[in-house]
Structure 1
């Protein structure tokens, strides 16, 4: 058989990977926006904390951070349950993976958004303030749309890397593409074949992602193109 009976398991693993990547992306963007705001803050201690976070995360391999966070959280939780004399609570691999990936890639999104914010002309913000817009209105209608045009290339790069990084979560027990294809390969003695299947699935996901990002770039640069005509 083409997939040796693992077709449904591969579909399930693919969907699990997509869900993990999307949730991690959303959380990473939130962390990135907060981190970028902190790095651009006028408060020195806030800037220091944000800089320390991005420097630390980008200096340690993703795998090491994931294992440290996952096992330290589980050890801490076990200590609490033992102290309270209650049953052990195991951390869900999906949520642990999503939070860990968000924590890691939030640092990269922080730098992406920081650069994008700084690329928006200050005159645009001053004009919005003079027009009477509130800070939230200025962000939604002036800063965010223009910032996205500068941020999209970095967002695209971070997203592509984030998709591949989801494979690390298989090490903590999540049944994603990598874990299922590795299990299938060992069971059927076709490890190379199922590794190729995994690579093809990731390639398909990244190709579709590229097309979506290309459309977003077209959408957010429409005003610039018209202004240049």
Structure 2
């Protein structure tokens, strides 16, 4: 009974805080995925441009942010960003420390990491587009902008969905590292609850279960999106046959 009270929604229970922390985790991950999508699209375009300097920049970005430990990047963004904000504050006459908000620092850090992976997803998706479709678009007189909107973007998104699902899962797990900044996401709240009640096994198991729920629901959403995107594609149906 004591266990149920601890994870319940009563006055002594941590259930509501854990669910709120799970929502914070989702918000951080969604923000990071959006930031990563913008960065990933830019880097993918650079790597596909054929220009030596842009390709080199893209390669450096993906190599660094896929090779450096995620926790180190979070520390650099959080503490480095706080130092930069403090310096700006002092230049404007404000005395004292100005910390970068934990949510913003976490979303930026995970988003930068996510962008390195999304760049490769988008690049691979573009290369998977049938050359015949691009040639057909040129043949009927589509200009570059129309071809980009009507042919390239829909096809890239269709091919990228499975990879983006993997990047989402990676970012969801990386969000646990943001607990070092003090943000009350799922991992941090599980740690606080465990420390306050001395029920470490219980709350870390509950936290793990909530992560599994989030990842399972995410899988279903991305699988549904992939089926919907391929529904009207005869080539996809032929490939599965």
**Do Structure 1 and Structure 2 share a fold, with TM-score over 0.5?**
yes
- Determine the C-alpha separation between the residues in 1 that align with 2:56 and 2:91: 36
Residue 233 (structure 2) pairs with residue 195 (structure 1): no
2:63 is the alignment partner of 1:58: no
Are 2:67 and 1:67 equivalent residues in the alignment? no
Task: Answer yes or no: is the 8 Å Cα contact 1:146–1:220 preserved in 2.
Answer: no
Query: 2-side partners of 1:163 and 1:25: how far apart?
Result: 9
Deviations 1:6-33 (A, max 9, x none): 1221121111111111111111112111
Which of these residues, 165, 185, 198, is aligned with residue 194 of structure 2? 185
Q: Which residue of 1 aligns with 2:38?
A: 30
Matched, 1:80 2:78: no
Instruction: Specify every segment of 5 or more residues in structure 1 that has no aligned partner in the other structure, as ranges.
Output: none
Aligned ranges for residues 40-59 of structure 1 at < 5 Å?
A: 40-59=48-67
Candidates 135, 148, 153, aligned match of 1:139: 148
* Residues 227 and 79 of structure 1: CA distance in aligned 2, closer, same or farther (over 3 Å): closer
Residue 106 (structure 1) aligned with residue 83 (structure 2): no
SS at 2:100's partner residue? coil
After superposition, the C-alpha distances for 1:20-66 in whole angstroms (9 at most, x for unaligned) are: 11111111112111111110003221111111111111111111111
- Check whether the contact 2:6–2:14 (CA below 8 A) recurs between aligned residues: no
Contact 2:25 2:185 in 1 (8 A): yes
Shift of 1:225: 5.6
Q: 1:118 and 2:108 equivalent? A: no
Instruction: Provide the secondary structure at the position in 2 that maps to 1:91.
Output: coil
TM-score of the two chains, using structure 1 as the length reference: 0.93
Residue of structure 2 in register with 1:224 after alignment: 234
Structure 2 equivalent of residue 214 of structure 1: 223
- Is the 1:6–1:184 Cα contact (8 Å) retained in structure 2? yes
Q: Secondary structure at the match of 1:174?
A: coil
Distance change in 2, residues 1:58/1:227 (3 Å): closer
Structure 1 residues 227 and 75: alpha-carbon distance in aligned structure 2, compared to 1, 3 A threshold: closer
TM superposition shift of 1:80: 2.7
- How far, CA to CA, are the matches of 1:54 and 1:86 in structure 2? 37
> Deviation at 1:2?
4.2
Distance change in 2, residues 1:133/1:204 (3 Å): same
Q: CA deviation at 1:145?
A: 2.2
1:153-192 deviations in Å (ceiling 9; x for gaps): 2111111111111111111111101111110100001011
The structure-2 alpha-carbon separation of the partners of 1:131 and 1:13, relative to structure 1 and needing over 3 Å to count, comes to same
> Does 1:16 pair with 2:21?
no
Provide the aligned length of Structure 1 versus Structure 2.
229
Q: Which 10-residue stretch deviates more, 151-160 or 177-186?
A: 151-160
Listed as ranges, the gaps of 5+ residues in structure 2 are none
